[in-house]
Structure 1
Amino acid sequence: MFRNVLASFWALLLLVSAAQAQFQFFEHMFGGGGGQQQQHQQDQHNVPSDSAWYQRTWDGAHCNKYLCPGTLACVHFPHHCPCPHPDVEEKVELGEGSAICVSKGGYKPGEASRKIELARKGVL
């Protein structure tokens, strides 16, 4: 009698654990559940505004030339600073040692600097 009860208990436990594993598989497969995990991941990506972090990083940077404020790159001259997002920005030198980074905006290479030059001439 006791063996039958024990065998039934183990069979029930096996079925419950198999069902639990199946539901977990489908939740992960189709992105269901996991609301808390998803919220935690979003919180990790939302960086709070923290000027103290930037100041510590700036203070810890070693540069005997010019330290670019946007990228913390060490360059010889301010207009040599790289753009912070070179994949989507184009650096345009304006002359007299100044440069700006502008969005490529889907234009062909060099198009942003051509448009800036036309705007400086008052044509655009």
Structure 2
Amino acid sequence: MKTPSPPSPLSILFTTLLFILPALAQFQFFDQMFNQQQQQQQPQNAGSDSLWYRQQYDAVHCDKYLCPQTLSCVHYPHHCPCAFPELEDKVELDDGSMICVSKGGYKAGEAGRKIQLARKGLL
């Protein structure tokens, strides 16, 4: 009976790589996945110019009136929403436009009343 020959170094290397490579690939996959999540979580400063805003503005399709503050598409300028309604009161002006005014702790509608008084020269 013939005794089996010892495995060659090449076959040992091949067998070892057969087990190691899938494990390395799996670790690389998880490493990339977690690194991408960490990169997405890091905030980045906005640019100091208006390029981002202009790109967003140019990309919006609106066949009516495009609100410059929120990029909302509405029928009339005074229909524009405030960007931060929880912090701002919307005040419609007599000329058909609108402005958003900080609530600043006033009672509901108080900012609008003060603006109307100021426009009349009473405040």
What is the TM-score with the length of structure 1 in the denominator? Answer: 0.61
In the alignment, does 2:96 pair up with 1:102? Answer: no
Distance 2:87 2:104 in 1: 7
* Structure showing the higher helix proportion among its residues: 1
What is the TM-score with the length of structure 2 in the denominator? Answer: 0.61
Distance 1:120 1:59 in 2: 34
Letter in structure 2 aligned against 1:75 = V
Gaps of 5+ in 1: 1-39
Letter in structure 2 aligned against 1:56 = Q
SS at match of 1:101: strand
Query: Are residues 45 and 85 of structure 1, via their aligned partners in 2, closer, same or farther at CA, if it must alter by over 3 Å?
Result: farther
Quote the offset at 1:122 in angstroms.
1.9
Equivalence for 2:111: 112
Gaps of 5+ in 2: 1-40
SS at match of 2:93: strand
Distance 2:50 2:97 in 1: 25
Quote the offset at 1:49 in angstroms.
2.1
Matches for 1:1-124 after TM superposition, within 5 Å: 41=42, 44=43, 46-124=45-123
| Identity value in percent | 66
Distance 2:45 2:86 in 1: 22
Distance 1:123 1:60 in 2: 43
Quote the offset at 1:45 in angstroms.
5.1
Quote the offset at 1:121 in angstroms.
2.0
Alignment RMSD (CA, Å)? 1.9
Quote the offset at 1:87 in angstroms.
1.1
